[in-house]
């Protein structure tokens, strides 16, 4: 799954970097199909978690890109492939966290992610042409998720996938981060070094919200079945 997701995301970004709106829309349709195909092999819990990520991330995308313009896409929109793309990123991060290697070496992988992204964040603050305060803040978030979050393996995977995604996407010019946030106070790298820490909030929402949604659905379904089976007056 990881190779499929990384491969498809790379293809999408490469094609969209020099394509038109209709190509972008076509990539969106295919990305939805790829996501649905991968989810067909997952448990109900993972499907609901992925749906939570897609909804949560889409709200953030439309708020921070077209509205606040913290970052902008080539056509000043949110490409159709972005919402399902967030679902694919979640599945890839989850798959990395579930590998036997990561599970067997969780402590080492956690520290490797911390040191790697931490070094990237330090570079963004000290050496980069654009001081990356937002990236440093998000690295602190990532450190919190890695050390205290409900699923360390998931955040190890997110550190890998999201960092790769941001570097490739901004390098190709598919999207561009502004130099400062809307207040003009917080400086931002292109991309922010600790972007995986910002993405970690999507993952946290999925892990915390999905079980409750499933439980509520099951209670309502059981209540409907009970009413249907009860004798009529």
pLDDT at position 232, please? 57
pLDDT at position 13, please? 95
pLDDT at position 227, please? 77
Give the Cα separation of 127 and 129 in Å (integer).
7
Give the Cα separation of 85 and 34 in Å (integer).
9
DSSP string, 146-164: HHHSS-HHHHHHHHHHHHH
> pLDDT digit string (tens) for 172-223?
999 999 999 999 999 999 999 999 999 999 999 999 999 999 999 988 888 8
Residue ranges of E strands in the chain: 71-73, 175-177
Residues of the chain below pLDDT 50: 233
Q: Model pTM?
A: 0.92
pLDDT at position 229, please? 75
**Hey, what's the torsion of the CAs at 183, 17, 38, 96, to 10 degrees?**
-60
Residue showing tokens 């997952």: 42
């Amino acid at each position: 799954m990881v190779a499929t997701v990384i491969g498809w995301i790379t293809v999408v970004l490469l094609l969209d970097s020099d394509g038109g709106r209709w190509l972008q829309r076509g990539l969106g349709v295919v990305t939805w199909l790829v996501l649905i195909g991968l989810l067909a092999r997952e448990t109900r819990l993972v499907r609901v978690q992925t749906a939570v990520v897609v909804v949560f991330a889409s709200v953030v995308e439309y708020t921070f890109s077209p509205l606040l313009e913290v970052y902008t896409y080539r056509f000043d929109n949110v490409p159709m492939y972005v919402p399902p793309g967030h679902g694919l990123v979640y599945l890839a991060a989850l798959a990395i966290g579930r590998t036997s290697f990561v599970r067997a070496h969780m402590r080492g992988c956690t520290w490797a992610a911390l040191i790697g992204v931490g070094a990237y964040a330090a570079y963004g603050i000290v050496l980069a042409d654009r001081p990356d305060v937002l990236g440093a803040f998000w690295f602190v978030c990532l450190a919190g998720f890695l050390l205290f979050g409900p699923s360390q393996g998931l955040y190890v995977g997110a550190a890998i996938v999201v960092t790769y995604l941001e570097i490739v996407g901004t390098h190709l010019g598919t999207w561009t981060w502004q130099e400062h946030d809307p207040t003009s106070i917080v400086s931002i790298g292109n991309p922010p070094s600790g972007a995986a820490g910002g993405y970690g909030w999507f993952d946290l929402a999925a892990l915390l919200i999905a079980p409750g949604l499933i439980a509520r659905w099951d209670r309502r379904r059981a209540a409907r079945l009970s009413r249907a089976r009860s004798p009529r007056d």
